[in-house]
Amino acid sequence: MVSIILTAMLPIVFVAFLGWLAVRLKLFGPNATTTLSTFVVRFALPFALFLAASRARPSDLTNGPFIASLAAGLVGAYVLGTLLGRFVFRHDMRSSALQGLASTFPNMAYCGPPVLIAAVGAQGLLAVIVGNLIVSIIIVPVTIVIMQLAAPAGAGEAQSEWVQVERSLLGAVKQPLVWLPILGAVLALAGLHLPAIVDNAVDEIGKAAGGAALFTLGMMIAQNPVRLGRNVLANLGLKNFVQPAIMLGAALALKLNPTLTKEVFLIGVMPTATAASVLAQRYGVYAQEAASTTAASTLLAIFTISGALAIASTL
């Protein structure tokens, strides 16, 4: 079990530490974090999610109870986190949406495979694919729409509400982080596959997403040290404990077989993905809290993953 946890967590801690060290050694200029986060959000991460979606089998995307169990935890935690930010911590809608994302987006792509393969075998990667699709097709676009709709109006602008909504939705749809994963899912459902030469070319930029996001997270932590205030502690409780509980409850209620139940449950205990922090940095909203949540959730996951593997062995 120790080797499984180290395989999942050590790369995250190591690369984030390098980003932290780079800032402490003053190897980058003051705008480096913004530049790297833009690279991740605009280029690397959209293509990574596009490939994950396009490589899925149509049957992976049409298993209703399995998808519903994952969506219950992912979307449910997002709604809870957003409401928590808005009505308990009294954030504006942009900060509330990013609090929801920080409480929702599990680090499936980088922590999920070693844990799921150890627990259920290679078929466990199905949960990583479907979970990423739910986040990239539903949760991320909703977050970006909120960021667009709730953005401060430009000076001198006088727009009707409908014009503002229309422009905000159009601006969100134009984001590669929204339309590229949807395009990948459409290709998968249509049974179409990218030519190998194109797949390999896109994979080169997609593979950069994980390392660049983790490095950026380390830089953000160096610039804004982790602070475990009430806000971050609430996020940790929601992400590391409430979300997996929702997923396990949904899987049991929908009577998934034991293997799929384990997959759904273990996806829920993955720590917060770095994408939440990078997106917050990109918009300049909730960046301190998101970075603190990601770092603390990753450290806490050393213990929660251990407990989850023990529980999963009894299912």
Q: Write out pLDDT tens, residues 134-193.
A: 887 788 888 888 887 877 655 444 455 455 555 555 655 677 877 888 888 889 889 888
Please give the Cα distance from 176 to 117 (Å, whole number): 30
Backbone phi, psi, residue 288, to 5°: -60, -50
Please give the Cα distance from 19 to 28 (Å, whole number): 10
* Domain hosting residue 146, numbered range: 2-150+160-312
Flag whether 245 is in a domain: yes
Flag whether 139 is in a domain: yes
Flag whether 81 is in a domain: yes
Q: At what angle do helices 176-189 and 140-149 cross, to 10 degrees?
A: 150
Query: Domains in the chain: how many in total?
Result: 1
Residues contacting 219, CB < 8 A, separation 6+: 19, 20, 22, 23, 28, 32, 33, 36
Task: Please choose, from the candidates 108, 72, 65, 79, the residue with its C-alpha nearest in 3D space to the C-alpha of residue 245.
Answer: 72
Task: Going residue by residue through the chain, which has 315 residues, state the pLDDT in tens, using 9 for 90 and above.
Answer: 667 667 767 777 888 889 889 989 989 887 888 788 788 878 887 888 788 778 877 877 788 999 999 999 999 999 999 999 999 999 999 999 999 999 988 988 767 777 887 788 767 767 887 888 888 778 888 888 888 787 765 544 445 545 555 555 565 567 787 788 888 888 988 988 889 999 999 888 888 877 887 788 788 778 777 788 899 999 999 999 999 999 999 999 999 989 899 999 999 998 898 878 888 887 888 988 998 998 899 888 888 888 888 888 888
CATH number for the domain spanning 47: value is 1.20.1530.20
Looking up tokens 């529980």 gives 311
Residues contacting 113, CB < 8 A, separation 6+: 124, 125, 128
Flag whether 208 is in a domain: yes
How many residues belong to the chain? 315
Residues contacting 147, CB < 8 A, separation 6+: 94, 97, 98, 172, 283, 285
Whether 260 and 82 have beta carbons less than 8 Å apart is answered as: no
Flag whether 155 is in a domain: no
Quick check: helix, strand or coil at residue 51?
A: helix
Please give the Cα distance from 174 to 168 (Å, whole number): 10
